Structure 1
Amino acid sequence: MLYTIQNEFLKATVSLYGAELQSLIASDGTQFLWQGDPAYWHERSPILFPYIGRMTDKSFYLDGEMHHMQNHGIVKYHDFRLVSASDTQLVLAFEDTQQVYADYPRHFLFQVTYTLNGNTLEVACRVENRDDKTMYFGLGGHPGFLLPFTPGKDFTDYRLSFPSACEPRRVVFSETCFCTGDLVPYALQDGTTIPLQHSLFDDDAIVLTDTPKEVTLGAEGDPRSVTVTFPDMDYIGFWQFASDDTPFLCIEPWSSLPSPDGKITVLEEQKDLLSLPAGDCYENTWSIRVNF
């Protein structure tokens, strides 16, 4: 089932399945969100929880026992329930089931709130640990943006721009997209900018750390752009399906990284995972600002 929220600037549509954003349309009629063409990538904007990326053998250890998990966690594969809906806000929730608990043995409530605030869509995630043991998890977003924003522009006209100069480091992945444990310097044009080329993604995603907590996707001469703000995420990823004509780019705020290459993850030992004591709650908000 789909739900829509709208204000004078934006209209956002969200599915109960995975609490996934399905559409983000500006008041001038521009669709900013990738629409899931399966020839490239069938998803649009999945929520990643309680793990980001891949696990070796799709397996992990927790409390000394082995369990299994699909890529990018659990919640993207399940229906949420509607908590509340207004003209400009939608609250959805997912609670562990018997099967989910068997795969990830923690009782929890995971809530996603979408709020339109002017020309910004805020995505607030809340985790409630309902177990008697500490939870270990990652949290992330994976929105794809449909390019070009304006007819007549080309993918290579666009760039990713940080608001201030920085010296980011890139997470090094293996050929199978697992972490090697290495970070290497990633040079930006003028210290702020990544000019886009399809070949940048021939080796899969670019994931950076040590950046400002905001990045803008836009092109010179195009009044349309999007700015993703992620104040409480340590990593920002950029990805598209490897092809010389892929018409979208994902901007992915992540709290943590995938599994080490060739090693089955022990959740309690993965240092970048968030830990939440029994009975506590965790909240993290990131946003998409649409400029047009």
Structure 2
Amino acid sequence: MPITLSNKYLNAEFKLKGAELIRLKDIKNNRELLWNADSQYWGKHSPILFPIVGALKDDTYYYNDIVYKLPRHGFARDMNFTLLQQTETEVLLSLSATEETLEHYPFLFQLNVRYQLLEHTLICSYEIENPSQTPLLFSIGAHPAFAVPVNGQGTYEDYYLSFDEDKQLNCLNIKDNLITDELTIIALELGKLPLKHELFYNDALVLKDLKSKKIRLNNTKNEHGLCFSFEGFPYFGIWSAHDANFVCLEPWCGIADGKQHNQQLTDKEGIISLDGGGKWKRSWSVGCY
């Protein structure tokens, strides 16, 4: 059975596997806001990317002269979390290191994922603790997929993303899941990026140095939309599967390896080092209107 949170504005559902958000409903306007995870295109709703974001070169990294393997986006999305706390409008889910994770990732950790409903807004917080006395090296990112069009009404091209602080998007190019040295610049007219399936035919738009801390998902047919807010994430991904009716808005603390990377975890771009006994937190939110 899914875990359910509800107030008079929103209904949200989650599962223990991956601590994944699997449903978000705007009650007042009867709108299903999240992608339905149709496996024909992409069978997930909102996976958590940990302890890496994106792919490693050859799925391999080195730490203390030992070779380790990790799949793209890490392992948290495929593991069962523990339910620590739950109220009508808040839930706290937790994942810690196991014998299995230590074989691929030689760090002790506690990853707590907190979801809260506050009026029209869902807040997701990642709270990481280092229970050891040695540094914890990690990356983390979000991957929520929002339905486009909402409730199947209208077309994909009716929708656009609005950036409150950017006039252009500086996109790091991806080839074979790795970052290349090339950069693609997408000009924004009045801060707007019209959605079209072809945007994602090569892969995600991977953004660095994004000025905006809010991105709105709007459409040209009515006044309803979403406001996606994030702070303290140095990278941002925008993605959809080939011709699928969703768009992922992905704040990241971390990034895929570059094609020339030396595969040393300590040298990985975006890697975070958390001292022994330390705590770390980042949050993102989505509000409907």
TM-score, normalization by structure 2? 0.95
Q: Give the aligned residue type for 2:5.
A: I
In structure 1, what is the equivalent of residue 45 of structure 2? 44
C-alpha distance in structure 2 between counterparts of 1:170 and 1:106, whole Å: 32
Q: Deviations over 1:97-128 (max 9, x none)?
A: 01101110011100000000111100000110
Equivalent-residue separation in structure 1 for 2:91 and 2:11 (angstroms)? 12
Alpha-carbon distance between aligned partners in 1 of 2:172 and 2:8, rounded to the nearest angstrom:
40
5+ residue gaps, structure 1: none
Separation in 1, partners of 2:248, 2:32: 15
Partner Cα separation in structure 1 for residue 152 and residue 271 of structure 2: 41
Whether the 8 Å contact between 2:156 and 2:245 is mirrored in structure 1 is: yes
Q: How far is 1:181 from its partner?
A: 3.9
Contact between 1:60 and 1:68, CA under 8 Å: does it hold in 2? yes
Matches within 5 A, 1:224-243: 224-243=224-243
Matches within 5 A, 1:149-164: 149=150, 151-164=152-165
The verdict on how the C-alpha distance between 1:274 and 1:181 changes in structure 2, with shifts beyond 3 A counting, is farther
> SS where residue 265 of structure 1 aligns?
coil
Pair 72,151 (structure 1): closer, same or farther in 2 beyond 3 Å:
closer
> What is the CA distance between 1:168 and its match in structure 2?
3.3
Structure 2 SS opposite 1:186: strand
Q: Contact 1:127 / 1:283 at 8 angstroms: preserved in 2?
A: yes
Contact 1:55 1:264 survives alignment (8 Å): no
Is the contact made by 1:234 and 1:254 (CA closer than 8 Å) also made in structure 2?
A: yes
Q: Which position in structure 2 is the counterpart of 1:288?
A: 286
Deviations 1:85-105, CA, capped at 9 Å, x for gaps = 000000000010011011100
In structure 2, the residue matched to 1:271 is: 269
1:255 corresponds to 2:256: no
Q: In structure 1, how many angstroms separate the alpha carbons of the residues matched to 2:20 and 2:152?
A: 27
Letter in 1 for 2:194: P
Scaled by the length of structure 1, the TM-score of the pair is: 0.94
Structure 2 contact 22–46 (Cα < 8 Å) conserved: yes
Q: CA deviation at 1:165?
A: 3.7
* Maintained 8 Å contact 1:52/1:258: yes
Partner of 1:54: 55
Greater displacement, 51-60 / 83-92 = 51-60
1:102 corresponds to 2:103? yes
**1:129 positional shift:** 0.8
Structure 1 residue runs of 4 or more that deviate by more than 6 Å after TM superposition: none
The DSSP-based 3-state class of the residue aligned with 1:189 is: coil
Give distance in 2, aligned partners of 1:240 and 1:88.
Answer: 29
Range with greater deviation from structure 2 (40-49 or 56-65) = 56-65
Cα contact 2:32–2:151 (8 A) shared by 1: no
In the TM superposition, what is the alpha-carbon distance from 1:263 to its structure 2 partner? Answer: 4.2
User: What amino acid is the match of 1:199?
Assistant: E
Aligned to 1:112: 113
Contact between 2:158 and 2:221, CA under 8 Å: does it hold in 1?
no
Indicate if the aligned counterparts of 2:167 and 2:187 stay in contact, CA closer than 8 A.
no
More divergent stretch after superposition (231-240 vs 253-262): 253-262
Partner deviation per Cα, 1:182-206 (whole Å, 9 max, x = no partner): 444332123x111111111111111
Equivalent residue, structure 1, for 2:207: 208
**Matched residue, 2:33:** 32
Partner residue in 1 for 2:8: 8
Q: Determine if the alignment matches structure 1 residue 199 to structure 2 residue 198.
A: yes
CA 1:155–1:110 in structure 2 vs 1: closer, same or farther (change >3 Å)?
same
C-alpha distance after superposition, 1:206-257 (max 9, x if no partner):
11122211111111232321121111111221111122xx211111111121
Residue type matched to 1:256 in 2? G
User: Share of identical aligned residues, percent?
Assistant: 29
**Shift, 1:17, TM fit:** 0.2
Aligned to 1:218: 218
Deviations 1:146-193 (A, max 9, x none): 12125542100100101234343211212x120124444332123x11
Cα deviation, residue 278, structure 1: 1.1
3-state SS of the aligned residue for 1:200? Answer: helix
How many residue pairs are counted as aligned between the two chains?
287
- Structure-2 separation of matches of 1:109 and 1:120: 26
Q: Which residue of 1 aligns with 2:22?
A: 22
SS at match of 2:125: strand
